Amino acid sequence: MNEYKIALIPGDGVGIEVIDAAWLVLEVASQRFGFKLASERFDWSCEYYLKNGRMMPEDGIKTLRQFDSILLGAVGWPAQVPDSISLHGLLLPIRKAFDLYVNARPHKILKGTTGPLKAENFDILCIRENTEGEYSGAGGRVHVGTPDEVAVETSIFTRRGVERILRYGFEQAQKRSGRLASVTKSNAQKHSMVFWDEVTDEVAVDYPDVEVKRYHIDAIAARFVMQPETLDVVVASNLFGDILTDLGAAIQGGLGFAASANVNPAGGVPSMFEPVHGSAPGYRGRASPIHWRPSGRGP
């Protein structure tokens, strides 16, 4: 029987509750489908930061590398630690260190739920680029605090990065309906997004069985709401995918319903699985479906 080693990082806020609930589900799944699970829990979080001055130990990535996969709750406690520190000290370095360039986020109406649109056939797989683009972290600030202050945040799109995420999108489309939506804003962003469109055309030649359509991010946001049945697999840059997947989650009925897989399809490194929602400080004690009370009070 296969045994999988899972690193559990509950993190902050409701992350802790949802990991406990998710683990119970995993245990049932392991019995039903015949595999074994071993886990180790890491308390890396904002609380850890307040004690140790860092979100995870210096050798945190090395430690995680020994696991088959990572299950992460949520990161962030902005009242005490700025998000720019907590996220750049834990979630984002894990995605980058293991080159988890695919962020796959399936959005569909789960059994027993409806969602605000009451769109029964809502079923979209978002493939978000997860390592570069608008979130590559390149930039800086000069003349800080003066009237001449300048802040620059550079989007980085590499041929390698764009091509590999598009290929993954095409492969998923092949496995589903054969339809792929490629998202840009090439009418306004004439360098990076025109480049993305060109690479899309080049890659499309290798997938003649996939029908690829281009959409601008603003137009596809409206389409998610007005005609979601016309979409199936959607591939987008880091920022656009981030926004679209909150929209997808909202259409599912709320952020709490949406799942997120950070994957390096080449293997050899642990993939990381997490909910799309954040630490949701206001919901602490009320987020786990196991502890949830209709009264809205915690356990």
Residues within the interface to ligand IPM (CB under 6 A): 87, 242, 276, 278
Candidates 12, 17, 242, 274; binder of Mg ion (CB under 5 A) is 242
Sign of CA dihedral 181, 252, 174, 192: positive
Q: How far is the CB of 104 from ligand IPM (least distance, A)?
A: 12
Residue number of the CB atom closest to Mg ion: 242
Name the residue nearer to Mg ion (CB basis): 200 or 245: 245
β-bridge partners, 153 = 139
Residue 10 binding target from Mg ion, ligand IPM, none, CB below 5 to 8 Å by type: none
- Provide the Cα torsion 209, 214, 218, 222; round to 10°: -40
Stretch that binds Mg ion, among 88-96, 198-206, 241-249, 283-291 (CB under 5 A): 241-249
* Pair type for strands 133-142 and 150-156: antiparallel
Per the CB < 8 A criterion, the answer to whether 200 and 181 are in contact is no
Task: Identify residue 75 by its one-letter amino acid code.
Answer: V
Find all residues with CB under 8 Å of 82, minimum gap 6, and list them: none
- Residue carrying the six token digits 């589903």: 176
Greatest alpha-carbon span in the chain? 65
- Provide the Cα torsion 10, 283, 247, 20; round to 10°: 30
Stretch that binds Mg ion, among 60-68, 141-149, 177-185, 240-248 (CB under 5 A): 240-248
Q: How far is the CB of 49 from ligand IPM (least distance, A)?
A: 15
Residue 89 binding target from ligand IPM, Mg ion, none, CB below 5 to 8 Å by type: none
Per the CB < 8 A criterion, the answer to whether 89 and 197 are in contact is no
Q: How far is the CB of 294 from ligand IPM (least distance, A)?
A: 29
Residue 87 binding target from ligand IPM, Mg ion, none, CB below 5 to 8 Å by type: ligand IPM
Name the residue nearer to Mg ion (CB basis): 15 or 26: 15
* Pair type for strands 102-108 and 123-129: antiparallel
Q: How far is the CB of 107 from Mg ion (least distance, A)?
A: 13
Stretch that binds Mg ion, among 43-51, 99-107, 239-247, 254-262 (CB under 5 A): 239-247
Q: How far is the CB of 236 from Mg ion (least distance, A)?
A: 12
Name the residue nearer to ligand IPM (CB basis): 123 or 246: 246
At residue 97, the 3 state secondary structure works out as helix
Find all residues with CB under 8 Å of 297, minimum gap 6, and list them: 286
Identify the helix (H) or strand (E) that includes residue 186: none
Name the residue nearer to ligand IPM (CB basis): 37 or 261: 261
Name the residue nearer to Mg ion (CB basis): 186 or 260: 260
Residue 73 binding target from ligand IPM, Mg ion, none, CB below 5 to 8 Å by type: none
At residue 285, the 3 state secondary structure works out as coil
Name the residue nearer to ligand IPM (CB basis): 6 or 90: 90
Q: How far apart are CA 21 and CA 14, in angstroms?
A: 11
Name the residue nearer to ligand IPM (CB basis): 125 or 276: 276
* Positions in the binding site for Mg ion (CB under 5 A): 242
